């Protein structure tokens, strides 16, 4: 039988659920009307299950995801290594629901590295960060100060705190941020920009351990030993166009810092 990919399998399952199927068929029939004493003893079941936890391969829940991420990230000596290490990292559940991993775009070695939140639908499909509506605004914003991801004279390098799309674009979970943070730190160290642009609350959370972008934006700070400028996320600017005025002030401050 031809094997199904994740998305096709999920679509088929969802279709069956819509039709009312709410249980999987097992190999042996199950008597749902059996009295408790005719059912297998739960204790025996537990004992059966135990050896898998102790003797078999270590269960995912028992592994220290942050420690494994740190070891994998520290082993990367180039951006290509880092990308491969992230692709091989299996402990973040987001990976299972994503179509593509989104590593970066732009020119590695650029003086400005932009850190966003996580891929959305467009990014998940294309494998590149900031290509949807927010990304198009981001390109226009930086174009206005003469910078761009494909501009060799004044390039940008762009990534996100999470490389896989959260389902339905939900907020990142603290454990997802913590698990992927060693990769982000290594990413910054290897890309080695002059300054960081920290886009929105979730990036502030991951890099500065702070939230409150309305207060933080425009205030230069330090993250990973680099000058860092928190800015409004372009998705927020799409919802709140008047905030573009502050974003423009921040862009000018950024251009000034890069030109110094």
Q: Which residues bind ligand URA (CB under 6 A)?
A: 116-120, 123, 129-130, 132, 134-135, 160, 235
Nearer to ligand URA, 85 or 117 (CB): 117
Nearer to ligand URA, 134 or 179 (CB): 134
Residue at shortest CB range from ligand URA: 116
Nearer to ligand URA, 65 or 231 (CB): 231
Taking the complex as a whole, the smallest distance from the CB of residue 201 to ligand URA amounts, in Å, to: 10
> How many other CB atoms are found less than 10 A from the CB of residue 74?
13
Taking the complex as a whole, the smallest distance from the CB of residue 123 to ligand URA amounts, in Å, to: 4
Taking the complex as a whole, the smallest distance from the CB of residue 241 to ligand URA amounts, in Å, to: 17
Nearer to ligand URA, 117 or 251 (CB): 117
Q: What is the DSSP string of the chain?
A: -PPPPHHHHHHHHHHHHHTT--S---SS---TT--GGGSPPHHHHHHHHHHHHHTSSPPGGGS-HHHHHHHHHHT--SHHHHHHHHHH----THHHH-SS----EE-TT-SEEEEES---HHHHHHS-SS-SHHHHHHHHHHHTTT-BTT-TTSBEEEEES-SSPPGGGPPPPHHHHHHHHHHHHHHHHHH--SEEEEEHHHHHHHHHS---HHHHTT--EEETTEEEEEE--HHHHHH-GGGHHHHHHHHHHHHHHHH-
Nearer to ligand URA, 106 or 129 (CB): 129
Taking the complex as a whole, the smallest distance from the CB of residue 234 to ligand URA amounts, in Å, to: 7
Nearer to ligand URA, 154 or 235 (CB): 235
Nearer to ligand URA, 135 or 182 (CB): 135
Q: Are 97 and 71 in contact (CB under 8 A)?
A: no
Q: Residue 228: beta bridge partners?
A: 196, 221
Taking the complex as a whole, the smallest distance from the CB of residue 56 to ligand URA amounts, in Å, to: 38
- Nearest residue to 78 via CA among 49, 109, 105: 109
Taking the complex as a whole, the smallest distance from the CB of residue 247 to ligand URA amounts, in Å, to: 15
Taking the complex as a whole, the smallest distance from the CB of residue 11 to ligand URA amounts, in Å, to: 24
């Amino acid at each position: 039988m031809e094997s199904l990919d994740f998305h096709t399998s999920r679509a088929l399952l969802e279709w069956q659920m819509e039709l009312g199927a709410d249980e999987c068929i097992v190999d042996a029939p199950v008597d749902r009307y059996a009295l408790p004493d005719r059912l297998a003893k739960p204790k025996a079941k537990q004992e059966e299950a135990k050896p898998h936890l102790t003797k078999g391969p270590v269960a995912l829940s028992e592994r220290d995801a942050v420690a494994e991420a740190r070891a994998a990230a520290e082993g990367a000596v180039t951006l290509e290594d880092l990308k491969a290490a992230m692709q091989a990292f299996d402990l973040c559940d987001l990976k299972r629901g994503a179509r593509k991993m989104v590593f970066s775009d732009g020119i590695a070695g650029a003086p400005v590295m932009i850190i966003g939140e996580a891929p959305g639908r467009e990014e998940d499909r294309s494998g590149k960060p900031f290509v949807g509506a927010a990304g198009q605004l981001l390109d226009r914003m930086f174009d206005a100060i003469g910078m761009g991801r494909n501009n060799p004279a004044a390039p940008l390098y762009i990534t996100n705190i999470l490389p896989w799309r959260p389902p339905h674009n939900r907020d990142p979970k603290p454990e997802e941020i913590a698990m992927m943070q060693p990769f982000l730190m290594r990413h910054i160290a290897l890309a080695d920009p002059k300054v960081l642009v920290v886009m929105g609350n979730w990036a502030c959370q991951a890099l500065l351990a702070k939230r409150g972008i309305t207060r933080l934006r425009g205030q230069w700070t330090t993250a990973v030993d680099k000058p860092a400028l928190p800015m409004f996320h372009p998705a927020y600017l799409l919802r709140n166009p008047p905030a573009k005025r502050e974003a423009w002030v921040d862009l000018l401050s950024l251009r000034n810092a890069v030109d110094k």
